[in-house]
Structure 1
């Protein structure tokens, strides 16, 4: 037995070393996705002025991102199954930078909406492909590294928003986003060769499996306390209706929180500039503040999960994000709005990764795909929804919907915990 205990960690370390290059490359693609998307969103105020669109018309144009992404998400899974998620990720890594250069070339809300269909298609495709590749890699590693990929996305968003705030007063949107496209293509060219399929490791020997069961050894997902959100030990067949129902609930939690991330990405700069009179550079830094807080929250997410478990992490995060967003939407000063955005980022940070991971633990890759699609759907539907509500009421009032949905996610998670199968052992 002592020899077996030494052999299993050694095998895991060897597997980790062998997968270091594809893991690094996949991390780069997550960061690239956030970097490109943030580069686009910080230029929305300038492109709104360029096209002469009203707030409602801009919200309708932004719906093009959502429509393009949703259409692509329904097809990307099949492409990944046929060609491999690593190949689809690399292909979308080319399309995304090319498409981000298109919005500054438009001069009407209609033209903007049409090119955003293309941008949304590339964005939706790369997100589904990357998450599919990440699921394979997590299974191959046997370690809960999914939050690290989402932290890379947030870090990329922070860098893209920070760079955008620096160049907002110096470069036109056309020059800025064209340079972003060139940088994205170069990064894809460097990282794509290191992507490769990651097969799951074979099952451990019978003795090792028995010993792991008696010792209560965890699987690749984070530890879950009794009565917490579903875990690997409560895994059922994907055909089980109750399992599908819980996966949909987890997807709804992801949707409620990703809605806030998408809304802040597209509307935070305009809120600061239009409602509080902030300069373009300061307004663009608002999303950077949110992205920085979310990055720090995701980097510490594993420690929070180990200390409090997924249910308390999600419930507490939702409550914190709700309070922060009401402050960010309704505060009368720029400093208070920045503080509200930061608190919102900390609260939302771990909820989406936890929901996706729990769905995968319950129903495998199919569960991950369902929760991810619902989550990214919320991220992409949030901006146009905010636009429509801003036209009916005002932008600050519309932004309070982010806080309301974050609170709803906390309530759903608390209610779902009571019906989740308890862990044994």
Structure 2
């Protein structure tokens, strides 16, 4: 059985997982912010950049698959020691490949390590966050994801500063890699070994029992219903990150700067609602929160698509960001309701959500090439509606003290 943690140990555990969410967002956005410099130094075109992004995406999907095995075999805490190292070293190798070696191949290898480590860490930090949430007996998952969002904002801002100061890509990414490794590994020292996330080899199930537990989760209909909630909202979030600026420019005829402002509005709305989301869920419940926000996201996206003017389009973007903010974290929270299979369930839910997040934007890109970007966004409206209809699956199971709400 897990030992009872003191209040100080619980707070340290929560702070450690906040830190890991933050540095993951920082590392990812730092690389993305230097893509123009990478393109220039390596002398590649948009297709070459696309191949590098494909390498990250493919490695990330491999990392998602490995994360389930790592959690089942070694536990979330021990697994993250390896995956954070992969992430941080991958960032550093990518910097070396760009600036000093000017090697496309070495850069791609670095991005492969980065994508693999980032996505595997992502699954395991959500497993830990769900365990923290259950220990505190209140909704915290949106706040964890807000820290990731804050990390991406910090990473993008730091990248703009480094680029404006003409700091080389390698020096920038080496510094970021050191921050990811240093902060991530120090934070893990404050994460307790918990049976609930398979950390204790002495009391945890056997390897055969762990893999049987993982397989059983994939046979549970609730896993797929929660997956539908997360899939719809992952598409809503991922499509905005990759296509909102293009939709503003090509669909509404605005400048690139206006597109960047629209993406900032989306990101700020999403982050604010993630910060505020926990108390809202604890007040009205997980299911009603998801239903209301699904309507909000759908109304916002429809408003953006049909907007007759720029101010109306920005209102739509804000509603879209606010509405899409909690589907992913609350899906994770729902998956963790049963502590006996929380690690396996969260791993499975994370896999469904992240595959949608990674694969959705390229699919939308192909469709938009056929019919245009604004008509393509109606597909996202339909997926958001699907997410809203599936939200009943997030109802807390009997005995769970997180997400039930109180009126």
Give the alignment of 1:21-170 within 5 angstroms: 21-41=12-32, 51-53=44-46, 62-100=53-91, 102=94, 105=98, 117-164=112-159, 166-167=160-161, 170=164
Tell me how far apart the structure 1 counterparts of residues 390 and 57 of structure 2 sit (CA, whole Å).
24
CA shift for structure 1 position 351: 1.5
Q: 1:417 to 1:200 in 2, by over 3 A?
A: closer
Distance 1:282 1:353 in 2: 29
Report the Cα distance in structure 2 between the residues aligned to 1:356 and 1:60, rounded to whole angstroms: 31
Distance (Å, rounded) in 2 between the aligned partners of 1:238 and 1:81: 7
Shift of 1:75: 1.3
1:342 aligns with 2:318: yes
1:219 is aligned to none
The 8 Å contact of residues 319 and 410 in structure 1, kept in 2 or not, is answered as yes
1:300 aligned counterpart, secondary structure: helix
Q: Secondary structure, in 3 states, of the residue corresponding to 2:164?
A: coil
Query: Hey, what's the Cα distance between the residues in 1 that align with 2:337 and 2:62?
Result: 26
Tell me, yes or no, if the aligned pair for 2:25 and 2:151 is still in contact at 8 Å: yes
- Matched with 1:246 is 222
Question: Does the 8 Å contact 2:20/2:183 carry over to 1?
Answer: no
Aligned mates of 1:282, 1:142 — CA distance in 2: 42
Q: 1:252 to 1:191 in 2, by over 3 A?
A: same
What residue number does 2:207 align with?
Answer: none
CA distance in 1, matches of 2:78, 2:183: 14
Distance 1:188 1:294 in 2: 27
- Aligned-partner Cα distance in 2 for 1:407–1:109: 42
1:381 aligns with 2:359: yes
Aligned: 1:358 with 2:338:
no
Return the alpha-carbon distance in structure 2 between the equivalents of residues 238 and 121 of structure 1: 20
Q: Deviations over 1:391-412 (max 9, x none)?
A: 2222333334333211221122
Q: Deviations over 1:91-131 (max 9, x none)?
A: 43343344456399499999988765444322211201212
Unaligned stretches of 5+ in structure 2? Answer: 197-212
Q: Is the 8 A contact 2:27 2:177 kept in 1?
A: yes
Q: 2: distance between equivalents of 1:121 and 1:39?
A: 17
Range with greater deviation from structure 2 (282-291 or 58-67)? 58-67
- For residues 41 and 399 of structure 1, the distance between their equivalents in structure 2, rounded to whole angstroms, comes to 24
Q: From the superposition, tell whether residues 241 and 369 of structure 1 become closer, same or farther in structure 2 (CA, over 3 Å).
A: closer
> What is the aligned partner in structure 1 of residue 210 from structure 2?
none
**Which of the residues 271, 285, 289 maps onto 1:309?**
285
Partner residue, 2:236: 260
1:305-360: CA deviation from partner (whole Å, max 9, x where unpaired): 13322221111111211222233355465544433322112111122122121122
Q: For 1:324 and 1:85, locate their aligned partners in 2 and report how far apart those are by CA, in whole Å.
A: 37
Q: Distance in 1 between matches of 2:378 and 2:107?
A: 26
TM-score w.r.t. length of structure 2: 0.75
Separation in 2, partners of 1:394, 1:16: 54
CA-atom RMSD in angstroms: 4.0
> Once the 2 structures are TM-superposed, how far is the Cα of residue 297 of structure 1 from its aligned partner?
0.9
In the TM superposition, what is the alpha-carbon distance from 1:77 to its structure 2 partner?
A: 2.9
What are the superposed Cα offsets for residues 39-97 of structure 1, whole Å, 9 maximum, x if unpaired? Answer: 4445567767964336xx87676443332112111112333444442343344334334
CA contact (8 A) 2:25 2:149 kept: yes
What whole-Å deviation, never above 9, does each CA across 1:275-313 have from its counterpart, x for those lacking one? 556555554343332222111111221222133222211
Distance 1:193 1:168 in 2: 26
Measured at CA, do residues 70 and 187 of structure 1 come closer, stay the same or move farther in structure 2, by a change above 3 Å?
closer
Is the Cα–Cα contact under 8 Å of residues 234 and 357 in structure 2 kept in the other structure? yes
1:216: which partner in 2? none
Structure 1 residues 377 and 270: alpha-carbon distance in aligned structure 2, compared to 1, 3 A threshold: same
Please state whether the residue corresponding to 1:387 is helix, strand or coil: helix
Question: Judging changes above 3 Å, is the alpha-carbon distance between structure 1 residues 246 and 179 closer, same or farther for their aligned structure 2 residues?
Answer: same
**Across the two proteins, how many residue pairs are aligned to each other?**
374
